[in-house]
Amino acid sequence: MDMKVLFTTFGLIFLAELGDKTQLATLSFAAESQSRLAVFIGSAAALVLTSLLAVLLGSVLGRFIPDHYVRTGAGGLFIVLGVWMVVTGWAK
């Protein structure tokens, strides 16, 4: 296992997740729920599953599409979704 990749991935994802909608939703669920363990397990399982899907999709895309195209496409998608959320008011 490449420890540099492991720690780089952990650090970047950890910083990116701080204060995002997923974390705020989990915080909200935990504040409302009597079963904080269930909230933690549900939230952790969802994050693990979405990460697994991203890794699988990324590995498939990496076989057919050069990585710089994937990064550019992902960046473009973030911009398009961000603009869409602001314009439609979905981000409220």
**pLDDT tens digit sequence for 54-68:** 899 988 988 999 989
Number of Cβ within a 10 Å radius of residue 26: 18
What are the residue boundaries of the structural domains of the chain, listed by start?
A: 3-65
Q: In the prediction, which pLDDT does 47 show?
A: 92
Distance between CA atoms of 26 and 34, rounded to whole angstroms? Answer: 13
User: pTM for this structure?
Assistant: 0.67
| CA dist list (Å): 19 to 26, 35, 40 | 11, 22, 16
Q: In the prediction, which pLDDT does 90 show?
A: 67
Q: In the prediction, which pLDDT does 91 show?
A: 54
Q: Which residue has the higher pLDDT, 41 or 74?
A: 41
Confidence of residue 39 (pLDDT cuts 50, 70, 90): very high
Q: In the prediction, which pLDDT does 64 show?
A: 93
Q: In the prediction, which pLDDT does 67 show?
A: 85
